[in-house]
Structure 1
Amino acid sequence: MYIIANAVKNIGRNKGRNILMAIIIFAIILTTAVSIIINTTTSAIIADYKSRFGSEVSIETNFEMLQNKKVAESYKELTPQQQIEFGKSDLLQSANFSATIDISPRKLSSLSESEMDDFISDFISGAIRADGTKNPETVPLKGKIIATDNPEADKDFKNSTRKITSGEMYKNLNECIVSQQYADLNNLSVGDTIEVDSYYKNDPMTHSLTITGIYMDNTMLGSNLEVISSMENRNNEILTGFDTAVNMEMFNVHGRVSVQYFLKDPTLLPAYEKELREKGLADYYNVVTDEAGYKKVVGPVEGLAGVTNTFLIVVLIFGSMVLILLSSLAIRERKYEIGVLRAMGMKKAKVAFGLLTEMLVITVICLVLGLGVGLAASQPVADSMLAGQIELAEENSNTNGGVPSSGRTGLGAPTFSSDVKPLSELQVNLSADAITQIILISLILAGISSVAGIMYITKYEPIKILSERN
């Protein structure tokens, strides 16, 4: 008990030296607290963004390989079944599936029908293809089936270009929604059942759908509806679920699939590509991630975490060196005091414990102040650093050039967009993990500050210390 009481009194006896030491320790703890608070917050946000955003994957044709005649002759487009199979992987966070089927309902009228539709159909129907085969006999195309497994991801509904005005979005098999314009033309309402047919003249492959909702469609606003075909008029699109489309007979004949694949993490790309190759993906297809999109969202936060980590390491290294230097200078002033205590019979361990206690008391006071000031300073520091990282990311994206990857596989489906927005602000908080790290580093600093005195005590005997008083 005497040792602790004496250590506390010594703090008051050597005010000047201890105040200087406290300022240094406070500065180190403050910068450490700010860095760790920001770092733990950004780490949590990065993990959250990775889980929600993932990394978009695109399967693209390698046109350089197709320059080889042998490779070009073996080229085959990805089948809908392959694209669906590629979405069944534990490495993926999610996969957005969509399908498009050209249709020609026999019992329904379509908007923008004209003689041009008949002319196009007559030109294509039964025509001889380049490979010598013959096109099937067809009737004029009158619209499309657009099927998605995640209708809420469709950008037209997200930006209110399309909006349900009656009924509800399809949920079950063989349910659909149609545009208000299409419903008015055909005198349709919620609950009605419609029949959709393929454009094959002699094989309609009829499929029945129940209307669960009617949506107002503003996608054609500003378009000259008098000069477009019924296929080009998006008011003719019948929207349904992906499973419904896959179960249609006409899908197996001329359906098209588009898929967005999202990895759980960009680093999983090699493993995912290996998995796709094993499932039959040809070498003339490349598997790439949308790194630009991922970096746009997560990059500024990762950059901020990297800066704070580097700053923390530098502060701890230089701060420790300064503390060792100050401790060495301070112990020279206290040689006589240590010599007297040792001459009185106090053991080395007890003298060392007293010096360590002094530094622990100073460190605890600095720790309390550093945590409070650090938490208050972390928010403006984080805002300033994040703004710099966002600006740097934008500059890099503007100077990199090139055409960004779409992240899509397949053609003809509506465009999806991710719900995750690039981070523009960071709300820091003092977590239990951050407090634990700061306390641990503070204790290490206290030990480093006492190391010079402890080494001095261990090295010299009392008589040697007293003889060197002058």
Structure 2
Amino acid sequence: MYLFENAIRNIFRNKGRNIILALVTFLIIFAAAVSFFISGATASMIRNTRTQFGNQATIELKDETASTGGLEVAAYLKYGASDLLCKTEYSMTAYGRLDSLRALDEEAPDGQANTILAATSRTDLGDDFRKGLRSITRGKAPEKKGECLISEEFAALNSLSIGSQIKLLPADTGRTGTAEFTVSGIYSDNSVNGTGGQPGMPLYNRNNEIITTIETAAAIDFMADSIGRQFNAVYFLKSSDQLDAFQNELLEKGLPAAYTVSANEEEYRQVVAPIEKLSKISNIFLLVVLLLGTFVLVLISVMSMRERKYEVGVLRAMGMKKPKVLLGMLTETLAVTAVCLLFGLLAGAVAAQPVANTLIQQAAQVNIHMTAPIIGQISMVALLLAGLSSTAGILYITRFEPNKILSERN
């Protein structure tokens, strides 16, 4: 108990020296905390992203130059009926012609395609709605077969409201058929491209898009090979190691040999690349901080012990054993380090998020969290620094015997 009380008194007796030691220790722990928080967050995000995209499978051509007729929408839907999947996401766009209605930016009806039918299986209607670029202002999203969403501008131009009927004709004037929709909701487009403003080019105006469910679009015969048709299917496996099993199942269901099932590796790399870069930067920064910080702390410790050499000589001459003298000095360093660790952790946790956002330049969102393993790692670094700096000073001072120290003083 005496050693602890005396160590605390010594800290306040030597304020100037200990303030410098505390400041340097705080800066090192703060920088290390920021690096550990960022590294922990990026490592977790990389694992989660690998799990997410490793579970996503798409059907692609083995040879993009190969000539094929393409897969039917019905085939994609059939492949999605698998026990290996936890969910599927389908999306499709195709051109069409409005029957007895006008499109925005259409100067005069000319029998050409003037609207885009956009279909999705997602309950959130896709990224535009999820990110707030589009929002439903009246009614609700299409749920039943034949329901659709239209824009506020398109509804105003044609005096349409909830429950109004819309007829769509094939984009190819040489084909016959009619698709009928009931307006279930009206959306607002808040994106930069949502205003159109190109007379004579209605297909470039996003507010002409009619949004419906994938089941509704797939049931329209003339949409199967309509002009401008694009279909995308993403299959979410229950486990990333089931990719081969899923491919074998699709082959049994009739998937042509020209196609293969692959994980979404390209999108994974696009998402992970900036995160990996941030992780490397933080690790290099941590290494530099620890090397320079340890050197500075050792230097301060040795200089401090030179000033305290006479104090050590007196204590030893009074009969205090060498281990107790050294334990008291180590206690002083640990007490200063503990206070710096507390404030360094708090400051590091606050600063890590803005630092991460600045370094990654908004390429992805990295969420910083203070977790027990990270706190343990930072605490170990703090103890290691305290141990190294104290050891250097202790090794310096223990070279001298009490009589020699006192004689040099005299």
Q: Which TM-score applies when normalising by structure 1?
A: 0.56
Number of the residue aligned with 2:290: 316
Number of the residue aligned with 2:105: none
Number of the residue aligned with 1:80: 73
Does residue 223 in structure 1 map to residue 199 in structure 2? yes
Once residues 93 and 16 of structure 1 are traced to their aligned partners in structure 2, the CA distance between those partners, rounded to angstroms, is 64
Structure 1 residue 359 displacement after superposition: 1.0
The answer on whether the counterparts of 2:141 and 2:184 sit within 8 Å (CA) in structure 1 is yes
Once residues 215 and 141 of structure 2 are traced to their aligned partners in structure 1, the CA distance between those partners, rounded to angstroms, is 15
Does residue 449 in structure 1 map to residue 389 in structure 2? yes
Task: Give the alignment's Cα RMSD to 1 decimal.
Answer: 5.9
Aligned with 2:213 (options 241, 248, 252) = 241
Number of the residue aligned with 1:344: 319
Once residues 341 and 136 of structure 2 are traced to their aligned partners in structure 1, the CA distance between those partners, rounded to angstroms, is 58
Distance 1:7 1:194, change over 3 A: closer
Once residues 338 and 349 of structure 2 are traced to their aligned partners in structure 1, the CA distance between those partners, rounded to angstroms, is 16
Letter of the aligned partner of 1:359 in structure 2? T
Once residues 232 and 373 of structure 1 are traced to their aligned partners in structure 2, the CA distance between those partners, rounded to angstroms, is 50
Structure 1 residue 357 displacement after superposition: 0.8
Number of the residue aligned with 1:98: 91
Number of the residue aligned with 2:119: 147
Number of the residue aligned with 2:26: 26
Once residues 39 and 351 of structure 1 are traced to their aligned partners in structure 2, the CA distance between those partners, rounded to angstroms, is 39
Letter of the aligned partner of 2:382 in structure 1? S
Number of the residue aligned with 1:258: 231
The answer on whether the counterparts of 1:198 and 1:250 sit within 8 Å (CA) in structure 2 is no
Tell me the secondary structure at the aligned position of residue 71 of structure 2.
coil
Tell me the secondary structure at the aligned position of residue 147 of structure 1.
strand
Distance 1:98 1:326, change over 3 A: closer
Once residues 331 and 185 of structure 1 are traced to their aligned partners in structure 2, the CA distance between those partners, rounded to angstroms, is 85
The answer on whether the counterparts of 2:177 and 2:222 sit within 8 Å (CA) in structure 1 is no
Structure 1 residue 274 displacement after superposition: 4.2
The CA deviation string for residues 238-282 of structure 1, in whole angstroms up to 9 with x for no partner, is 542112333x27379657661264989xxx6xx686466433464
Once residues 27 and 428 of structure 1 are traced to their aligned partners in structure 2, the CA distance between those partners, rounded to angstroms, is 20
The answer on whether the counterparts of 1:338 and 1:351 sit within 8 Å (CA) in structure 2 is no
Once residues 47 and 365 of structure 1 are traced to their aligned partners in structure 2, the CA distance between those partners, rounded to angstroms, is 34
Letter of the aligned partner of 1:245 in structure 2? A
The answer on whether the counterparts of 2:59 and 2:259 sit within 8 Å (CA) in structure 1 is no
Distance 1:92 1:445, change over 3 A: farther
The answer on whether the counterparts of 1:99 and 1:146 sit within 8 Å (CA) in structure 2 is yes
Structure 1 residue 152 displacement after superposition: 3.5
Once residues 21 and 235 of structure 1 are traced to their aligned partners in structure 2, the CA distance between those partners, rounded to angstroms, is 64
Tell me the secondary structure at the aligned position of residue 28 of structure 1.
helix
1:57-68 alignment, distance < 5 Å: 61=61, 63=63, 66=66
The answer on whether the counterparts of 1:301 and 1:386 sit within 8 Å (CA) in structure 2 is no
- What is the percent sequence identity of the aligned residues? 32
Once residues 186 and 90 of structure 1 are traced to their aligned partners in structure 2, the CA distance between those partners, rounded to angstroms, is 45
Aligned with 1:173 (options 140, 145, 152) = 145
Letter of the aligned partner of 2:390 in structure 1? S
Once residues 283 and 209 of structure 1 are traced to their aligned partners in structure 2, the CA distance between those partners, rounded to angstroms, is 36
Number of the residue aligned with 1:125: none
The answer on whether the counterparts of 2:53 and 2:265 sit within 8 Å (CA) in structure 1 is no
1:8-407 alignment, distance < 5 Å: 8-11=8-11, 18=18, 21-36=21-36, 61=61, 63=63, 66=66, 75=68, 77-84=70-77, 96-99=89-92, 109=100, 146-150=118-122, 152-153=125-126, 167-177=139-149, 190-191=162-163, 209-213=181-185, 221-224=197-200, 239-246=211-218, 248=219, 250=221, 254=225, 258-259=231-232, 261=234, 274=244, 277-278=247-248, 279-280=250-251, 282=257, 287=262, 289=264, 291=266, 295=270, 300=274, 302-324=276-298, 326-327=300-301, 334=309, 337=312, 341=316, 344=319, 346=321, 348=323, 350-367=324-341, 370=344, 382=355, 386-387=357-358, 389-390=360-361
The answer on whether the counterparts of 2:84 and 2:246 sit within 8 Å (CA) in structure 1 is no
Distance 1:262 1:356, change over 3 A: farther
The answer on whether the counterparts of 1:37 and 1:430 sit within 8 Å (CA) in structure 2 is yes
Tell me the secondary structure at the aligned position of residue 306 of structure 1.
helix
The CA deviation string for residues 336-390 of structure 1, in whole angstroms up to 9 with x for no partner, is 8379649837473x4443232111122234345545765776677x2xx754653
Once residues 363 and 307 of structure 1 are traced to their aligned partners in structure 2, the CA distance between those partners, rounded to angstroms, is 26
Tell me the secondary structure at the aligned position of residue 223 of structure 1.
coil
Once residues 103 and 23 of structure 1 are traced to their aligned partners in structure 2, the CA distance between those partners, rounded to angstroms, is 70
Letter of the aligned partner of 2:386 in structure 1? A
The answer on whether the counterparts of 1:359 and 1:446 sit within 8 Å (CA) in structure 2 is yes
The answer on whether the counterparts of 1:57 and 1:290 sit within 8 Å (CA) in structure 2 is no
The answer on whether the counterparts of 2:247 and 2:261 sit within 8 Å (CA) in structure 1 is no
Distance 1:337 1:429, change over 3 A: same
Once residues 334 and 77 of structure 1 are traced to their aligned partners in structure 2, the CA distance between those partners, rounded to angstroms, is 85
Distance 1:86 1:455, change over 3 A: farther
Once residues 224 and 253 of structure 1 are traced to their aligned partners in structure 2, the CA distance between those partners, rounded to angstroms, is 27
Once residues 156 and 304 of structure 2 are traced to their aligned partners in structure 1, the CA distance between those partners, rounded to angstroms, is 91
